[in-house]
Structure 1
Amino acid sequence: MSSNKKLSPYEIEIFNNMLGSIAEEMGAVLIKAAYSPNIKERRDLSCAIFEENGEMVSQAAHIPVHLGSMSFAVKSVLSELDLNQGDVLIVNDPYRGGTHLPDITIIAPFYYDGKIQYFLASRAHHADVGGITPGSMPLSNSIHEEGVIIPPSKLYSADRLNRKLFNKIINSTRDPEERKGDFNAQIGAVKLGLNRLGEVVEKYSLSKIRAASDQLLDYSERMMKRVIKGMKNGAYSFTDYLDGDGYDPNKIEIDVKLAINKDMATVDFAGSSKQVEGCLNCPLSVTTSAVLYVFQCLAPKELPLNSGSLRPIRIVTERGTVVDAEYPGAVAGGNVETSQRIVDAVFGALSKAMPDKVPAASAGTMNNLTIGGRARKGNGDFAYYETIAGGMGARKGMDGISAVQTHMTNTLNTPIESLERELPILVDSYSIRKNSGGKGRYNGGDGIVRSYKFLTDVTVTLITDRRKTSPYGIKGGANGRPGRNSVAINGNKKVLPAKNSLNLKKGSVLTIETPGGGGWGRVK
């Protein structure tokens, strides 16, 4: 359903902020009600509003990797399920709208006049969803090793909980009580969104809200076309690499061919590596998010976050490649690592079309760490997940920021006090990794050094990158320093591979040194 009602620019802006505030409030409720540190402290979540066809109208400024991918989940439930008022839907299957299994999406249709008018959705990264290692981020070679797979399903049918499905999901994890609390927080956030949207529709009329959301999408399309039109027409290419997938040490190629033609852009990934054995395969939803993120970065800050921005961008992939994986390929690391390298490669190509506006490469890895073992309190197990910041790439006129999350992640630092209170872990050191940023006319930001001392036996999984390759500098700026992982056992230090899963004894100390960002311009 679309509306022919024309609104003034100021009315559209008012409704844009109104819809955005609903998504922000949903996120605030989810953070407040969540049980796990990953959601309540790190804020690894996103909330958004969609039109009835699955196009995203508004997303709060949460996690960039969710930016373009949540629409895939909404469209998946639309195509696979018969929906009714009072339904609450759930999905995490990366091959049916998800990203990787820990990212679970809760969706509810908003009915008015007996028809679906909108969808409200919350996505959150759950600290454990089963699988072969605690934290559900294993060095897997099949998605079936990564955790419980949830196809588009009805968690609630006409306001009635499907308790059998709910129990099956939470009991497939290592901490059912924590999962239950996080699920209830997500459901509560979506239900609050339904109520708030209902209040807005009652106050201003459905026709006005529909007109506003339709015109917001059109406005974003026009604005993105203007951004693309400001680039030099032509064909540009760039290739970047991932270090390896944990099984094959050979580098994994991300190849981008960018074509700018007036106000349209084509991003073609032909030549990228075939699907790999390890977990770095990327579903199309994640590749789409990464491309949208890059173009959104180059747009004015006032450009609304919605699906309209994607309309002038054509994304070309080949099925069965690392950027468009096929079932049952492992994908745990595609969402977090391959997405970062896609961003680097697209920025690299764009640096030739608008050289003064594109930054040098940032750290290029989320430095994923999962830890599992026996809980200090009670008799159960714990599973903990975090990403560790690195250096931001420099840009014209500005040094890169040190020790910050960049690009596809926007999560917060886990407070040491919270981590040490909740888990049998001590943070031995936490500091800036001096001189890890690339030198240049403007210097890249420095990475981080973070060390963990374990107070119990644990299983640790690392999915990191930029340990062999370096974040690139631009216009003569130096590359950032690669990262390094190491462990000290009884005082003996050993360097670890970028992708690794290992059992560590009580008293072991794990140290993660994250990459610095690239420099911009030659040093004068």
Structure 2
Amino acid sequence: MGTAWPYEAIDRVTLRVIGGAFSAIAREMAQVLYRMSNSSIIRESEDLGCGLYDAHGNELCESESSPMHIGSLPAYIRGFMRKLAGQIYEGDIIIHNHPYHGASHSPDMGVIAPIFHRGELVGFAAATAHLIDVGAAAPGLNVDLIDVFAEGTLYDSVKLYERGRRNDAVWSILRDSVRTPDSNAADIEAMIAAVRTGADRFLKLVDRHDLGTVMGAANYWMDYSERRLRAEIARIPDGDYHAESWLDDDGRNWGKPLKVNVTVRKRGDSILIDLTGSADEVETGCNVPFEGSLQVACFYIVRTLLLDEVMTEEFIPQNSGMFRPVGVHAPKGCIFNPNFPRACVSRMAQVQRVLDCVIQALAPVLREQATAGNSAHVMSVSYSGYSPAQQQYWVCVEVNEGSYGARRTKDGLDAVDNLMANTRNVPCEEIEMRFPLRVERYELRPEAPGAGEWRGGIGAVRDVRFLVDGFLSCNGDRTLEAPKGIFGGGDGLPAQIVKNPGRADEQVLPSKSTGRKLKSGDVIRVVGPNAGGYGEPRRREAGRVAADVADGLISVEAAREVYRVVLDPATGAIDRAATDRLRAT
């Protein structure tokens, strides 16, 4: 476990072969997990992560799924090693979901298999995925909770298998403490299969190349990724870059916004993301696990801005080397570094907003990479109810799409989950087949996105009708503050969640709620934000403006008033002379 594993003597071809093998193993693990799982949030939304880690918890490779899951796994490993160091054996399977000891939040169950080679612990194969219920106060998602224990059952460094023997007592607790025992058990079995696959593939790689070569290559790729990221950071002028934003509320004190204050401190080839000045911790679950969520998000955004895979054809793997140049600070006692035992289950909107602020802060010095304001939220909702026939609850956890802000030369992406989550929504057919729900509307939002030389992305609208009595919980945000435009671009539009739209009992709901009772026939409409625009609208190509009108994204009047493009109302043809005169004024 203490071996240095040098790599200087390994030839470049072997290094590249092993690097590619690591990536392939992580992808295969994720395929096993999402294909075997039962719940829609894993099987359809792919709210999961898989990877390989060395004996110290350093990430060697990760699947191409949710960065929140994968990047947090080193913290999961550190979390259980504090209790189990020296007590880990071949054949163990460890489960862990404690948010104050590395977990991203309590519904994200970690399943980890130690990897032994000739009796020596050499690494871990690990997976996390979102379980649809963990026995919290309300089915599915929760916000208004008094402490971390109200989030559900916490598993702190628990062995589900020890030396290859299944712990039936723990399995019974896993099933008996939740509303969805069959689904949870199936999803955990899928995670076990994924980590066993990863461990098996790793050992076969060792058989092919020997342990020293494989671990030496792992160290090489971590050092390589670190060097590449530091080189990109060094290009940014030294300085402090600032942005701020406001979250809707804490899920109990509705309408009382919470400040997100971000300063990016760049020095040499390192970056520190400092959240000093952000809101104090709150008495609900609207706090953020520092190690398992905030740090991971900050690591992700620096890599995404500076070394996104679309920027280069070179192989630059994601691993712990990418974490080394990035520091994160949040004062103890703020929402991004709460004191135990504050609840911290509803944390995604907060970290998404941090990422959006990092982008806005660095936009003046990263004009090529930066986007305008993104939806920067996850309007996650859980629809649930009790089935007397099955004597279990049904729970549908849904990720509703937002949109990306525009960037230089590109319009923002429409109706897509963005930034840290990288998940997908549940198809309408899946919802209607598995749950007593009916999707009655699903389309792009009809209002215009943020105007600009490059327009912002457009959010989606989805109406879901309850066919039986049930419950609604929502972990959302972005209903008060719209995504911002940059470099002269216009702001987008905020999100909205509405009960029974168009009826006499229509009600605009807060973005965060827990266990709201609904009747059969009630409809919930979720409206995703429209993102911000990039650059002055009058600089947008007239042909693109005409196409936006033809596509129904903006009106003829908006084309003239906002973009200063004159169109024939009947044909949509551009009046070039009138447009030139208008744009000249």
- TMscore range, shorter length: over 0.9
- Aligned partner (choices 344, 348, 362) of residue 331 of structure 1: 344
- Residues of 2 paired with 1:415 and 1:375: CA distance? 22
Q: What's the counterpart of residue 27 of structure 1?
A: 30
Q: Report the alpha carbon displacement of residue 491 of structure 1 after superposing the two structures with TM.
A: 5.0
Aligned to 1:68: 71
**CA separation in 2, counterparts of 1:451 and 1:377?**
27
Query: Residue 142 of structure 2 contacts residue 513 of structure 2 at CA under 8 Å; is this kept in 1?
Result: no
CA deviations 1:243-285 (Å, max 9, x no partner) are 1112233211121122212211121111111111222211112
Contact 2:493–2:529 (Cα < 8 Å) also in 1: yes
Matching residue's letter, 2:123 = Y
Whether 2:523 is the aligned partner of 1:509: answer yes
Q: Is the 8 A contact 1:137 1:370 kept in 2?
A: no
- Matched with 2:405 is 393
SS in 2 for 1:347: helix
Letter in 1 for 2:107: P
Name the aligned partner's letter for residue 505 of structure 1: K
CA-CA distance at 1:386 after TM superposition: 1.3
Give the residue type in structure 2 aligned to 1:45. Answer: L
The answer for the alignment partner of 2:213 in structure 1 is: 208
Separation (CA, whole Å) in 1 of partners of 2:422 and 2:354: 17
Quick one: which of 496, 507, 513 aligns to 1:500?
513
1:455-498: CA deviations, max 9, x gaps?
Answer: 00011011211100111111111111001111118653111111
Match for residue 244 of structure 2 among 222, 239, 244: 239
CA distance in structure 2 between the partners assigned to 1:359 and 1:128 by the alignment: 35
> Aligned pair count?
523
Query: Which of 445, 450, 469 is matched with 1:433 structurally?
Result: 445
Q: 2:297 aligns with which of 267, 290, 301?
A: 290
Deviation of 1:351 after TM superposition, in Å, equals: 1.5
Q: Does the CA-based 8 Å contact 1:216-1:304 persist in structure 2?
A: yes
Q: Residue in 2 aligned with 1:462? A: 474
Shift of 1:39: 1.1
* Equivalent-residue separation in structure 2 for 1:298 and 1:499 (angstroms): 30
Matched position secondary structure for 1:384 = strand
Distance 1:399 1:353, change over 3 A: same
What's 1:270 paired with? 276
> Alpha-carbon deviation of 1:64?
1.7
TM-score between both structures, scaled by the size of structure 1: 0.97
Among 165, 171, 194, which residue is 1:160 paired with? 165
Find the residue that maps to 1:203 and give its secondary structure: helix
Aligned partner of 2:537 in structure 1 is 523
Tell whether the 8 Å contact from 2:400 to 2:425 is kept in structure 1 after alignment. Answer: yes
Q: Compute the displacement of 1:391 (Å).
A: 1.4
Q: TM-score, normalised by structure 2?
A: 0.87
Q: 1:376, CA displacement in angstroms?
A: 8.2
Distance 2:17 2:250 in 1: 47
User: Residue type of the partner of 1:464?
Assistant: G
For the 8 Å contact 2:441–2:464, the answer to whether it is kept is yes
Output the CA distance in 1 between the equivalents of 2:425 and 2:173.
32
Aligned to 2:45: 42
Q: Which residue does 2:235 correspond to in 1? A: 230
Matching residue of 1:444: 456
Correspondences of 1:13-412 after superposition (within 5 Å): 13-81=16-84, 82-248=87-253, 249-284=255-290, 285-300=292-307, 301=309, 302-334=315-347, 336-375=348-387, 378-412=390-424
Contact 1:298–1:357 (CA under 8 A) maintained in structure 2: yes
Structure 1 residues 376 and 64: alpha-carbon distance in aligned structure 2, compared to 1, 3 A threshold: farther
The residue type paired with residue 4 of structure 1 is: P
Question: Is the 2:384–2:393 Cα contact (8 Å) retained in structure 1?
Answer: yes
**Partner SS state of residue 179, structure 2:** coil
Mapped partners of 1:308, 1:252: distance in 2: 33
The amino acid that maps onto 1:345 is: C
Moved more, 395-404 or 317-326: 317-326
Cα deviation 1:82-105 (Å, max 9, x = unaligned)? 211111101001001101111000
Helix, strand or coil for the counterpart of 1:521?
coil
CA distance in structure 2 between the partners assigned to 1:453 and 1:414 by the alignment: 15
Structure 1 stretch displaced more, 375-384 or 398-407: 375-384
Unpaired segments ≥5 residues, structure 2: 310-314, 539-585
Asked if structure 2 preserves the Cα contact closer than 8 Å seen for 1:96 and 1:152, the reply is no
How far is the alpha carbon of 1:12 from its aligned partner? Answer: 2.2
1:418-444: per-residue Cα shift (whole Å, max 9, x none)?
110110000010000033421111000
CA distance in 2, matches of 1:36, 1:264: 40
CA contact (8 A) 1:240 1:255 kept: yes
Rg: which structure is higher? 2
CA distance in 2, matches of 1:35, 1:310: 33
Q: RMSD value over aligned CA atoms?
A: 1.5
> Once superposed, which parts of structure 1, at least 4 consecutive aligned residues long, lie more than 4 Å away?
none
Deviations 1:324-369 (A, max 9, x none): 12211111211x2111011112112221332332111211111010
Task: For 2:41 and 2:387, locate their aligned partners in 1 and report how far apart those are by CA, in whole Å.
Answer: 16
Tell me which amino acid in the other structure corresponds to 2:355. V
Give SS of 1:400's match.
coil
**CA displacement, residues 75-131 of structure 1 (integer Å, 9 cap, x when unaligned):** 112221121111110100100110111100000111113211111001010111111
Q: Which moved more, 1:6-15 or 1:53-62?
A: 6-15
Which 5+ residue runs of structure 1 have no aligned equivalent? Answer: none
1:78 partner amino acid: M
Give secondary structure in 2 for the equivalent of 1:166. Answer: helix
Using a 3 Å threshold, how does the CA distance of structure 1 residues 379 and 5 change in structure 2: closer, same or farther?
A: closer
- 1:484 is aligned to 496
